[in-house]
Structure 1
Amino acid sequence: MRPPPLPALGLFACLAAFAVIAGWNWPGHAGPRLVNVSYDPTRELYRDINAAFAADYRQQAGGEVEIVQSHAGGAFQARQVASGAQDADVVTLGLPSDVEGLHRRGLIGDDWRERLPHAASPYCSTVVFVVRKGNPRGISDWPDLLRDGVEIITPDPKTSGNGRMAALAAFGSVTARGGDEKRAKAFVKDLFAHAPFLPAAAREAGVAFAVENKGDVQIAWESEALREADESGGAVEVVYPPISLRAEASVAWVDANVARHGSEKLARAYLQFLFGDAAQEIFARRGYRPANAEILQRHAERLRPMNLLAITALAPDWFEAQQKFFGENGVIDTIYQPKPRGE
Structure 2
Amino acid sequence: MTITCIIYRILKIIIFLYCFEQSAVVYSTVLLNSSYDVSRELFSEINFNFIEYWKNIHPDDTLIIKQSHAGSTRQAMAVLQGLRADVVTYNQVIDVQILYERGKLIPKNWQDRLPNRSSPFFSTMSFLVKKGNPKEIYNWNDLTKEGVKIIFPNPKTSGNGRYTYLAAWNAFFQDNCKNIKHTRNQMRKFLKNVVVFDTGGRASTATFVDRNHGDVLINFESESKLIQNQFGSNKYEIIIPNPNILVEFPVTWIDKNVIKNGTKNVAQAYLQYLYTDEAKKIINKFGYRVIDTAGVIDTNFNIFSDIQLFKVEEQYKESWSNIMKIHFQRGGELDYLLSSIGQY
The TM-score range, normalised by the shorter chain, is 0.7 to 0.9
1:225-283 C-alpha deviation (Å, 9 max, x unpaired): 11111112221110111221111110011112112112111111111111111111111
Amino acid at match of 1:291: I
| 8 Å Cα contact 2:292/2:299 also seen in 1 | no
Given candidates 49, 62, 65, the residue that maps to 2:63 is 65
Amino acid at match of 2:219: A
Given candidates 122, 125, 136, the residue that maps to 2:123 is 125
CA apart distance, 1:293: 5.8
CA apart distance, 1:339: 7.2
TM-score scaled by structure 2?
Answer: 0.86
Q: Which residue of 1 aligns with 2:11?
A: none
| 8 Å Cα contact 1:198/1:339 also seen in 2 | no
Take 1:271 and 1:232, find their aligned partners in 2: how far apart are those partners?
31
Matched, 1:155 2:185: no
**1:107-146 residue pairs with structure 2 within 5 A?**
107-146=105-144
| 8 Å Cα contact 2:289/2:298 also seen in 1 | no
Take 2:321 and 2:121, find their aligned partners in 1: how far apart are those partners?
19
CA apart distance, 1:318: 2.4
| 8 Å Cα contact 1:172/1:309 also seen in 2 | no
Take 2:298 and 2:123, find their aligned partners in 1: how far apart are those partners?
15
**1:125-274 residue pairs with structure 2 within 5 A?**
125-177=123-175, 178-233=177-232, 234-274=234-274
| 8 Å Cα contact 2:128/2:236 also seen in 1 | yes
Take 1:303 and 1:70, find their aligned partners in 2: how far apart are those partners?
29
Distance 1:78 1:181, change over 3 A: farther
Unmatched 5+ stretches in structure 2: 1-24
Superposed CA RMSD in Å reads 1.9
Which protein has the bigger helix share?
2
Amino acid at match of 1:88: A
SS of the residue corresponding to residue 198 of structure 1 reads strand
Greater Cα offset, 330-339 or 206-215: 330-339
CA apart distance, 1:71: 0.6
Amino acid at match of 2:292: N
Amino acid at match of 1:136: P
Distance 1:281 1:199, change over 3 A: same
Q: Which residue of 1 aligns with 2:311?
A: 310
Greater Cα offset, 126-135 or 306-315: 306-315
CA apart distance, 1:316: 2.1
Distance 1:314 1:181, change over 3 A: farther
Take 1:89 and 1:314, find their aligned partners in 2: how far apart are those partners?
32
Take 2:237 and 2:79, find their aligned partners in 1: how far apart are those partners?
35
Greater Cα offset, 260-269 or 90-99: 260-269
| 8 Å Cα contact 1:75/1:159 also seen in 2 | yes
**1:274-313 residue pairs with structure 2 within 5 A?**
274-292=274-292, 296-311=297-312, 312-313=314-315
Take 1:317 and 1:244, find their aligned partners in 2: how far apart are those partners?
19
Q: Which residue of 2 aligns with 1:17?
A: none
CA apart distance, 1:29: 5.9
Distance 1:168 1:29, change over 3 A: farther
1:61-97 C-alpha deviation (Å, 9 max, x unpaired): 113211110111111111111222x221111000111
1:4-57 C-alpha deviation (Å, 9 max, x unpaired): xxxxxxxxxxxxxxxxxxxxxxxx662211110000010000001111110100
Amino acid at match of 1:252: T
TM-score scaled by structure 1?
Answer: 0.86
Take 2:298 and 2:165, find their aligned partners in 1: how far apart are those partners?
28
| 8 Å Cα contact 2:37/2:71 also seen in 1 | yes
SS of the residue corresponding to residue 89 of structure 2 reads strand
Ranges of 4+ aligned residues in structure 1 off by more than 6 Å: 337-340
1:113-165 C-alpha deviation (Å, 9 max, x unpaired): 11111110101111110000000111101111111111001111111111111
1:159-194 C-alpha deviation (Å, 9 max, x unpaired): 111111110100011223323233323322322211
Take 1:162 and 1:232, find their aligned partners in 2: how far apart are those partners?
22
Distance 1:29 1:69, change over 3 A: farther
CA apart distance, 1:296: 5.0
How many residues of Structure 1 are paired with residues of Structure 2 in the alignment?
312
Matched, 1:336 2:338: yes
Q: Which residue of 1 aligns with 2:324?
A: 322
SS of the residue corresponding to residue 153 of structure 2 reads coil
Take 1:215 and 1:87, find their aligned partners in 2: how far apart are those partners?
38
Take 2:81 and 2:291, find their aligned partners in 1: how far apart are those partners?
31
Take 2:45 and 2:332, find their aligned partners in 1: how far apart are those partners?
38
Larger radius of gyration: 2
